[in-house]
Chains A and B, each alone.
Chain A
Amino acid sequence: MKRLRSVDDFVFFREELGRETKDQTTVRVCSGTGCRAAGAAEVREAFVEEIERQGVEVRVTTSGCQGLCQRGPLVTIEPQRLFYQHVRPFDVPAIVDLTLKRERPIERLLHRTPDEKIVSWRDDIPFYKKQERVILRNCGRIDPTDIRDSIRVGGYSGLAKVLAEKAPEEVIAEIKAAGLRGRGGAGFSTGRKWELCRSQRGTPKYVICNGDEGDPGAFMDRSILEGDPHSVIEGMIVAAYAIGDMTEGFIYVRAEYPLAVKNLSIAIAQAEELGLLGRNILGSGLNFHIEIKRGAGAFVCGESTALMYSIEGSRGMPRQTPPRSVERGLWGKPTVLNNVKTFALVPMIVNQGADWFAGIGTERSKGTQVFALTGKVQNTGLVEVPMGITIRELVYEIGGGTLGGGRCKAVQIGGPSGGCIPENLFDTPIDFDSLQEIGAMMGSGGLVVMDESDCMVAIARYFLAFTQQESCGKCPPCRIGTYRMLQIMDRIVEGKGETGDIERLQTLGREIQETALCALGRSAPNPILTTIRHFREEYEAHIHEKRCPVGVCYSPGRYRILEEECLHCGLCMDVCEEEAISSGRRGYTIDPDECIGCGRCRGVCPAEAIVVEEQVTA
């Protein structure tokens, strides 16, 4: 690839790319983590082989996560606009022969809605219909390892526009006018942050992309870094230009994300080769380099000051603020740190304008947010919705309801720092402020759906155990306080709870919220406090009646098939992946030693013959 020396060069290059691939048939095999685990690599190989064997002119390529991980491996075929699901290598010869050669879709691989309607294209599937994919615009639509694919769909156009038309102050004004709030969880105004950093005297300044996504059950940032690294890089370059006095930026990636590191490295190398990154970017005189820093496994490093210490090569422990990072950040210099999603949004805002962005979302929370929709939900996957959508719409219309079709009990939003929201508050709009009001928080976007077979006390204990383990130990409220809370939770779950434990938890929780050093510590009690607030009766049952209302606490084996209700259809045995269900002369039985309590069998049982036994503890 030739180095591009000016904005005009870039525009010409982009137009040329567009002409090259017009009308070419493209087979795109999703290679997100979910699809790869389901065998996407084998499917891709099969396509390459089969296309060669049958001699068709088709481009086979990959993409990042397309979102509907539940139905992987996913394959899209354009321009025919076909969206195949659960594709296996032995389906490939038929696809090549029928679809690619004779233009006939294969119905059995297409999406079926619950009412058995066949949908051939992605955007028409209910899961995607309600979504508005802005941050995820390119995820699943481009090959992340080929910069040309990115440029073809508008990548780096925002940067080119900024360099050609806008002064740095104008860029900041635009971001501010758009009302962009940081997507890392706290929701601070991005434009304001940049402006503060720009006004600082110290030089050089630094920009950092926080890709240390550590929440259990959250994989939004990972999918963006893996599937569309160029948008993040472009956003960072725009930030460097707008803030000024910057030549170096860092992307801090969590240790568990090797593919993100790989794809980012490729993206950075390709951008440098084209002159979109490095010295004298597009002939504008802007010099900017990006370095990837791999995390080494510490959840607290997602906190901004801790992350900076980690980049400096020290123990990643948070410090007291102020001074804030925009005043004294990395190596004591003014530093802007934003989340992956925030940077991915920047190119869109400068490209489409502040008005366009401000037109999405609510009064005080603009734009869209990405959620990793997981747990007991039909459609597990990555979704992006405009701010202000209700939790109900998200869970039922996009998520398709609960996995077993049972009643949804609550959602946990914002990971271990967030809170549980009960079903009766599902009409709450999802935006920064509404969530705060009901004791939860946006967090970085994990959303776990729980049904009536989940014990809220056990879930709260699970989150607390996580933050307690990840506490860095610097400040006593977090180090000792969360440990004390965990001890109380442990005895409640074991059926040894004492009268007054709920009040003790509340007092301790409030004290930690007020006195801990960093946001991780201050938010650690949230899951406990919100579950006490909304599910107090479950705590009381554990403490006073020594029982777990849903029978989760203590050993599994709580699933049982009611003999008199059972229709002997065998569906439960088919879906049980643990092979815990067997058939005998007297019908079907569940082996308590093998059962892990995933709930799949209950979901398929037409007679509602499978019950979760209430279990008496202690």
Chain B
Amino acid sequence: MADENQGELTARLTPILDRYEGRRGVLVSLLQDVQAEFGFLEEKVMSTVAEALKLPLSHLYGVTSFYSQFYFKPRGKHIVRVCTGTACHIRGAPAIQARLEDELGICAGETTEDLVFTLETVNCVGCCALAPVVTVNDRVLNRREQRKLSGWIREQRAP
């Protein structure tokens, strides 16, 4: 069983590793692609990559843990982000964050147990005119959608 899984894993990793074969300074880009493929960086995946690159696992972990956009835990189906940039901050982002944390029952940076939602904060999404800004799966919500967010969250949760 274990070997079968390993085989499948290698098959998914090979095209990514091939793409960066023989190029220098590509570790970050390579791992970004790996994460895009697997959703997050599981230990098994990391150690396979480390072996293929002939690098210690600790080195890979050192690099990935430095950057905030590498994840070591599974992420929710929907990623809800609250912008906490300056403009959003002074127009009420902290209150919105608190409300979402309440509704989802998790803190920013966490994922709900049923793996439906991940709540995160982001420093600036660059549309300060709409502040305070909330994005769902990289889509910036407009006013109407933002008001309907609570309803949408309940809907997604319903079995």
Q: List residues of A whose CB falls within 8 A of some B CB.
A: 32-34, 36-39, 69-70, 72, 214-219, 222-223, 255-258, 293-299, 310-317, 331, 372, 374-376, 380-381, 412, 415, 446, 448, 450, 454, 459, 462-463, 466, 472, 556, 577-579, 595-599
A-B CB contact pairs (8 Å), 16 listed = A33-B125, A36-B140, A37-B130, A214-B123, A215-B86, A216-B89, A217-B85, A219-B124, A255-B67, A256-B125, A298-B66, A310-B28, A312-B25, A314-B63, A374-B87, A380-B128
Question: B128 contacts A374, CB within 8 Å?
Answer: yes
Return chain A residues, CB-CB under 8 Å to B122.
Answer: 256
What's the Cα separation between A293 and B69 when bound, in Å? 14
Interchain nearest-CB distance for A213 vs B (Å): 8
B87 cross-chain contacts in A, Cβ below 8 A: 217, 374-375, 380, 448
Contact of B29 among A36, A294, A579 (CB under 8 A): A294
Residue B11 CB within 8 A of the other chain: no
Known: A217-B128, A313-B27. A37 touches B141 (CB 8 A): yes
Residues of B in contact, count (CB < 8 Å): 46
Residues on B with C-beta less than 8 A from A331 are: 24-25
Q: Contact partner of B67 among A217, A298, A463, CB < 8 A?
A: A298
> Knowing A298-B67, A313-B28, A599-B91 touch, does A412 contact B138 (C-beta < 8 A)?
no
| B86 adjacent to A446 (CB under 8 Å) | yes
Q: A598–B91 contact, CB under 8 A?
A: yes
A448's contact among B25, B66, B86, B141, by CB below 8 Å, is which?
Answer: B86
Residues B27 and A314 in contact, CB atoms below 8 Å apart: yes
Known: A217-B124, A577-B147. 12 other contacts (CB 8 A): A37-B140, A69-B129, A72-B129, A216-B123, A297-B69, A298-B67, A374-B87, A381-B129, A556-B95, A596-B132, A598-B91, A598-B92
Question: Which residues of chain A are near B85, meaning CB under 8 Å?
Answer: 216-217
Give complex CA distance A297, B35 in Å: 14
| Residue on A nearest B123 in the bound complex, by CB | A216
Measured between alpha carbons, how far is A324 from B106 in the docked complex, in Å? 45
Q: Is the CB of B66 within 8 A of A315?
A: yes
Alpha-carbon separation in the docked complex, A193 to B63 (Å): 30
Shortest Cβ gap from B68 to chain A (Å): 4
A315 and B147 contact, CB distance less than 8 A: no
Q: Is B96 interfacial (CB 8 A cutoff)?
A: yes
B140 touches A33 (CB 8 A): yes
User: 4 closest pairs, A vs B, by CB?
Assistant: A596-B92, A219-B126, A217-B86, A313-B27
Cβ–Cβ contact A598 & B132, under 8 A: yes
Contact flag A316-B131 (CB < 8 Å), given A39-B142, A219-B126, A596-B96: no
